Amino acid sequence: MMRFTQFVVDFLRAGFTGGILFWCWMLFLAFFIMLWGYGEYVQIANGMIVTNLNDQVSWGFYLANFVFMVGVAAAAVTVVFPAYVYKHKELHRIVILGEMLAIAAVVMCLLFVIAHMGRPDRLWHILPVIGIFNWPHAMLTWDVIVLSGYLLLNIIGGFYYLYKKYAGGEVNKAFYLPIVYIAIVWALSIHTVTAFLINTMPARPMWFHSMMPIKFITTAFAAGPSLIIIVFLLVRRFTPMKIADEAFDLLSQIVVWCLGIALFLTMSEIVTELYPATEHSLGLQYLMFGHNGLNSLVPYFWIALTLMVVSFVLLLIPRLRKNLTLLPFICAAAFVGIWIEKGMGLMLPGVIPTPIGEFAEYTPSHIELMVVGGVWAIGFFLLTILLKGAVAVLLGEVSYQPQTDKRPVSSEQGEAAI
Amino acid sequence: MPNQDKSKEKESRPTTRRDFLRGAGNYTVASLSGAAMLLADPKPAKANITWAEHFQKNYRLMTEEEKQEAIERLETRYSEEYGKKVTVDGTPSIEGVLFGYALNIQKCIGCRRCVKACVAENNQSRGDEQQIEWIRVLRMEKGNFSAEDRDQHGYPESFGVQVGGNAYKPAGVVLEGQHYYEPEQVPEKDAFYFPMQCMQCEKPPCVKVCPVRTTYRDPDGIVVIDYNWCIGCRMCIGACPYWARRFNWGEPNLPKEEMNPVTHYLGNRPRMKGVVEKCTYCVQRTRKGRWTACVEVCPVGARKFGNLLDPNSEIRKVLAKKKVFRLRADLNTYPKFFYFMD
């Protein structure tokens, strides 16, 4: 127990040690976290009237970001799966970093859900045992199960491995490997269930098709590894952690193929919906072309599509894909493209027009922007701490010292920024 | 920040409550913490009531005594808040009754008296900031309807919702009706009218998706909501194909003098911010053998209401003899709200 406490303290200390760049980054994030606190306060005090949501458009920016982040969380599996199933050596060394990313992403998901709720003070109503859990009927209860399960699996798996590394013991494979394999399947489940959450409602024809889960997973496995590539490149740049080029090569291949499938599915959807162009396709038509001058979503769609197509084409060319200076920019384009496509571009046409055919334009209010920006900041804050701590443990910079005097964290590590 | 001043007073301790909620869940802890709050609160009685309300169970799972307690708590709080004697009824559904509704679209003149009567009866929020109406009357154009015309010309200025966006041109309502008409006089020559409200489905999609079972179908067929248990996730709003559900985005605005003091726990009692509400077939009236407010007020007798299980009821006669249809029957929701023509 002593040893574990020591682990937590050392992990956090490593996480919070850094140079001027590190502290600037943290301060930058802290600013947005303060805005989040203010936004949440205003929203809780006044109700959701401070958002631009209304009875016509009752789901918006919060849920859009939630859906996207579930995908990013699930995408940790693109590191874990090749590492354990295909025994990819280079990915195996950094698999923990993927799990840290998943933890940060799931925490963000939970914060988005809380922001979306009209009565966050009644959150306990949805917890099993102390509240009422409409399981298995309500899809949202499935989401609660898979998301919290995924968070637990990653925390237990990730930190068990790190702790063993820290304390110098052998990893108990009979305990650890089942967690890893369960987490792989579980990752798919979180995004599948999130798709089922919205595509099981015939009242919303834009979402009501069986392609939704696979489209969610392909876009997630394009956006997630894109972010992972960027994060790993930063880790390689700012810490002594060695990440081989092969790791990036495999990840960028995953991105390009998933992006390709996602684009194919998008095309299938457009043809299927627009060829007969029934009233059920009005959501998609509104997204792509606007309606009677109501066209605030049109740029979203075309920007997203352009970003996705361009990054797909660029990544198809091996010379560009293997260029690690260019790669993060292509990845950023793919990431942003999917964030728009699967966020606002998916959420809003689902609720516009309303079931009685009414169009209402929606743009997020200042409070919504503050809260969402703040949750992203919290995510990056958490990710920075987790990654720095994990890297320090993996490199053996912090390890358990039987004596009570604590070994100082190495100063090279201290210089490292992110 | 609209609404801030009045809601601040009521909701100044959300964090503390939530923190306590984690471990608690029974009245012992509730009263202990309630005692702690006495020190801070200028209105101790009210604080205790809202505090206990926070810990109460889902209405359906309460024992008779617990229901009685909850109802008394609400009566005390409402009476104090609205400055008059407010009753909260808990009448359960009556054996052998299944409520049904039928609306004669041939007779409806689009006067919207039903909408107004419903708001007055059911204590909805009113005013510019947050106006909640459970009934929407769609104005349908007579004659040939051309989608092309609608797309090219749109509706005249001020029709269609244009909220928070930048509509350069008039927004349109693409289906054949819209509910923002403001004529000099009804009925208009070139229109007929199509009122919509909660269809009280036998297979309600909203009930299925509710993660906390706060909305459920009572045995008399009315889909009700326990406002004190709703978490405000709005899954039900997404799932409803009839756009029947409304959300209290801010603290509802219900003037004291306009408040209807005869309420039902599952019906028209005043709501709080952050919860969903909808038509309950005036459960506070109909379970006492009265008409709903909309049936009562309709000047042309377009609205019929009754017991579907009673073969001699008016509603059964309508279903047997008139040309009846239900809205979006393809979704298998089995609405108990029928439309008919003579």
Amino acid letter, A298: V
Going by C-alpha positions, the residue among A299, A372, A282 that lies closest to residue A337 is A299
B243 and A53 within 8 Å at the Cβ level: the answer is no
- Residue B313 carries which DSSP code? S
Residues of A in contact with B277 (CB under 8 A): none
What is the rounded CA–CA span in Å between residue B291 and residue B280?
12
What is the rounded CA–CA span in Å between residue A418 and residue A388?
7
- Candidate from B2, B175, B238 with C-beta closest to A356: B175
Q: Are B129 and B253 within 8 A, CB to CB?
A: yes
pLDDT per residue over A214-232, tens digit each?
A: 999 999 999 999 999 999 9
Tokens of A304: 């997203």
B249 and A140 within 8 Å at the Cβ level: the answer is no
- Minimal C-alpha gap between A113 and chain B (Å): 8
Residues of B in contact with A45 (CB under 8 A): 4, 7-8, 11-12, 14
**Which residue of B174, B216, B334 to mutate against A (max A Cβ within 10 Å)?**
B174
Q: What is the per-residue pLDDT for B115?
A: 96
pLDDT per residue over B193-239, tens digit each?
A: 999 999 999 999 999 999 999 999 999 999 999 999 999 999 999 99
Going by C-alpha positions, the residue among B228, B274, B132 that lies closest to residue A48 is B274
What is the rounded CA–CA span in Å between residue B192 and residue B197?
17
- Residue A59 carries which DSSP code? S
Tokens of A338: 């999917």
pLDDT per residue over A304-340, tens digit each?
A: 999 999 999 999 999 999 999 999 999 999 999 999 9
pLDDT per residue over A25-34, tens digit each?
A: 999 999 999 9
**Residue range A265-280: mean pLDDT, rounded:** 91
Closest residue of chain B to A205, computed from CA coordinates: B241
* Cα torsion angle, B21, B22, B27, B32, sign: negative
- Residue B95 carries which DSSP code? T
- Candidate from B151, B234, B331 with C-beta closest to A58: B234
Q: Where are the alpha helices (DSSP H) in A208-326?
A: 212-238, 245-274, 282-289, 298-316, 318-321
Residues of B in contact with A58 (CB under 8 A): 234, 237-238, 247
Q: Are A109 and A378 within 8 A, CB to CB?
A: no
Residues of A in contact with B246 (CB under 8 A): 55
- Candidate from A201, A293, A357 with C-beta closest to B167: A293
Q: What is the per-residue pLDDT for B129?
A: 86
- Candidate from A46, A57, A202 with C-beta closest to B3: A46
Residues of B in contact with A56 (CB under 8 A): 161, 163
- Minimal C-alpha gap between B137 and chain A (Å): 11
pLDDT bin (cut points 50, 70, 90) of residue B177 is low
What is the rounded CA–CA span in Å between residue B81 and residue B70?
16
Tokens of A190: 């979180």
Going by C-alpha positions, the residue among A258, A262, A348 that lies closest to residue A305 is A262
What is the rounded CA–CA span in Å between residue B284 and residue B280?
9
Tokens of B173: 């309502």
- Minimal C-alpha gap between B313 and chain A (Å): 31
What is the rounded CA–CA span in Å between residue A186 and residue A141?
15
CA distances from A383 to A235, A323, B10, B228 (A): 11, 26, 37, 37
* Strand B337-341 to B323-325 pairing: antiparallel
- Helix A139-167 × helix A173-199 angle, to 10°: 150
What is the rounded CA–CA span in Å between residue B187 and residue B313?
29
CA distances from B322 to B193, B294, B339 (A): 18, 21, 9
- Candidate from B1, B163, B169 with C-beta closest to A54: B163
- Minimal C-alpha gap between B215 and chain A (Å): 11
CB pairs under 8 A between A and B: 231
What is the rounded CA–CA span in Å between residue B49 and residue B52?
5
Compute the mean pLDDT over every residue in chain A, rounded to the nearest whole number.
Answer: 92
pLDDT per residue over A376-395, tens digit each?
A: 999 999 999 999 999 999 99
Residue B168: is its pLDDT beyond 50? Answer: no
* Strand B223-225 to B87-89 pairing: unpaired
B1 and A124 within 8 Å at the Cβ level: the answer is no
pTM as predicted: 0.88
Q: Where are the alpha helices (DSSP H) in B56-146?
A: 64-82, 113-122
- Minimal C-alpha gap between B3 and chain A (Å): 6
Q: Kindly list the domain boundaries of chain B, sorted by start residue.
A: 1-55, 99-135+198-341
What is the rounded CA–CA span in Å between residue A53 and residue A33?
23
- Candidate from A59, A119, A355 with C-beta closest to B243: A355
- Minimal C-alpha gap between A203 and chain B (Å): 4
- Is CATH 3.30.70.20 the classification given to domain B99-135+198-341? yes
ipTM of the complex: 0.90
* Strand B262-264 to B87-89 pairing: parallel
- CA A220 vs. chain centroid, Å, equals 8
**Residue range B71-90: mean pLDDT, rounded:** 95
Residue B2: is its pLDDT beyond 50? Answer: no
| Side-chain half-sphere exposure of B254, counting CA atoms within 13 A | 24
Prior bond to A364 cis, omega within 30? no
Q: What is the per-residue pLDDT for A107?
A: 97
pLDDT bin (cut points 50, 70, 90) of residue B165 is very low
Q: What is the per-residue pLDDT for A216?
A: 96
Residue A204: is its pLDDT beyond 90? Answer: yes
Q: Are A334 and A218 within 8 A, CB to CB?
A: no
- Residue B269 carries which DSSP code? S
* Sheet hosting strand B191-196, strand order edge to edge: B177-178, B136-141, B191-196
Closest residue of chain A to B276, computed from CA coordinates: A118
Residue A418: is its pLDDT beyond 60? Answer: no
B231 and A125 within 8 Å at the Cβ level: the answer is yes
Residues of B in contact with A59 (CB under 8 A): 234, 238
What is the rounded CA–CA span in Å between residue B247 and residue B277?
6
Q: What is the per-residue pLDDT for B8?
A: 38
| Side-chain half-sphere exposure of B275, counting CA atoms within 13 A | 24
A48 and B274 within 8 Å at the Cβ level: the answer is yes
Closest residue of chain A to B131, computed from CA coordinates: A55
What is the rounded CA–CA span in Å between residue B201 and residue B124?
22
Compute the mean pLDDT over every residue in chain B, rounded to the nearest whole number.
Answer: 82
CA distances from A389 to A235, B99, B164 (A): 12, 63, 44
**Residue range A11-27: mean pLDDT, rounded:** 94
B164 and A121 within 8 Å at the Cβ level: the answer is no
A293 and B168 within 8 Å at the Cβ level: the answer is yes
* Residue that has been written with the tokens 């293997």 in this structure: A322
What is the rounded CA–CA span in Å between residue B242 and residue B240?
5
Domains of chain A: 2-397 (1.20.1630.10)
Q: Are A224 and A104 within 8 A, CB to CB?
A: no
Considering only residues B118 and B43, tell me which one the structure prediction assigns the higher pLDDT: B118
Q: Are A335 and A258 within 8 A, CB to CB?
A: no
* Strand B99-104 to B337-341 pairing: parallel
B8 and A124 within 8 Å at the Cβ level: the answer is no
A132 and B213 within 8 Å at the Cβ level: the answer is yes
Prior bond to A136 cis, omega within 30? yes
What is the rounded CA–CA span in Å between residue B117 and residue B91?
22
